[in-house]
Amino acid sequence: MRLRFAWIAWTAAGMAGVLAAAAGTSGAQQDGARSAAATASAQQDGARSAAATASAQQDGARSAAATDAGEERPLDAEPFPAEPSKQPTAAEWKAAPRVRLSRTGPAAAGCRAYRMREWLRIRCPELTVSAISLLGGKTEGVAFWIDPPRGGSELPRGGEVMFPIRRGDRRVIQILTFGPGYDGPFTLLPAIVVQEQWLDDEPAPTVTAS
C-alpha cells in the first residue's frame, strides 16, 4: 500500500511538473509573440517615417527644380524701389524669380540670375571657380561665394555674386577659373566678367555677363 501511495504521489508530482513546464512554455511563446509583434510594429513605423522623409525630400527637389526652371523675366519687369532695402534672406532668395540680364555671352550660358527688390544674385553652378574679384565700382553690398569641391574633385565647382542695383551705380566683377598658362595647368584665368551700371539719366540699369 505504501508503495502504491508513493507511486501515485510521484506520478501526480510528475504530471504537475509537466503541466507547469507546459504553462511556462506557453507563456514564453506568448511573450515571444508579443515581442515579435512589437518589433514588427516598430519596423513598420520606421518604414513609414523613412517613406515620409523621402517624400518630403522629393517634394523639396521638385520645388527647387520648378523654381530654377521658371520662366525668366526681364531684369526691370518689376520697378526698382526708390529707397535702399536690406540684403535678402535665404528664404527670400529661395522664392526669388529668375531674371534675364541685358546681355549674356557664351561663357555665362550656364549661369542663372535672380532678383529680389533691387538685389541681384548671379549664380554659375557648373563653373570651376578659382577666384572672384571686384575690379571697380561701389563695394557697398557686394558679396561673393565659391562652392566647395564636390563629386570627388579637388577643385571648387560653382560660385555666385550678389550686389544691389541702384541708380548711379557702376561695377565690374570678374570671375576666374583654372586653366593652362604660365603657372602650369592651374593658372588663374578670366572666365566671366559681370558689368553693371545705371546712369542717372537712364530709365533702367544695364547688367551683362560675358
The dihedral sign for the CA sequence 55, 61, 64, 68? negative
Domain ranges, residue 14: 1-69
Grid coordinates given for 132:
572672384
Nearest to 163 by CA among 197, 124, 199: 197
More confident residue, 165 or 59: 165
Regarding beta strands 206-209 and 184-197, do their DSSP bridges make them parallel or antiparallel, or are they unpaired?
A: antiparallel
Contact 140, 154 (CB under 8 A): no
Residues 140 and 183 in one domain: yes
Residues 60 and 159 in one domain: no
Residue 47's pLDDT band (cuts 50, 70, 90):
low
pLDDT of residue 48: 61
**Could you read off the pLDDT of 66-94 as tens digits, one per residue?**
445 568 999 999 999 999 999 999 999 99
More confident residue, 153 or 198: 198
pLDDT of residue 43: 60
Residues 35 and 128 in one domain: no
Residues 63 and 81 in one domain: no
pTM: 0.66
Residues 39 and 63 in one domain: yes
3-state helix/strand/coil string of 68-110: HCCCCEECCCCCCCCCCCCCCCHHHHHHCCEEECCEECHHHCC
Weakest-pLDDT range from 43-57, 132-146, 162-176: 43-57
Residues 59 and 101 in one domain: no
Residues 104 and 184 in one domain: yes
Residue 183's pLDDT band (cuts 50, 70, 90):
confident
Residues 165 and 79 in one domain: yes
**Mean pLDDT, rounded, for 3-18:** 42
pLDDT of residue 30: 56
**Could you read off the pLDDT of 114-166 as tens digits, one per residue?**
999 999 999 999 999 999 999 999 999 999 999 988 777 778 889 999 999 99
Residues 24 and 101 in one domain: no
Residues 149 and 65 in one domain: no
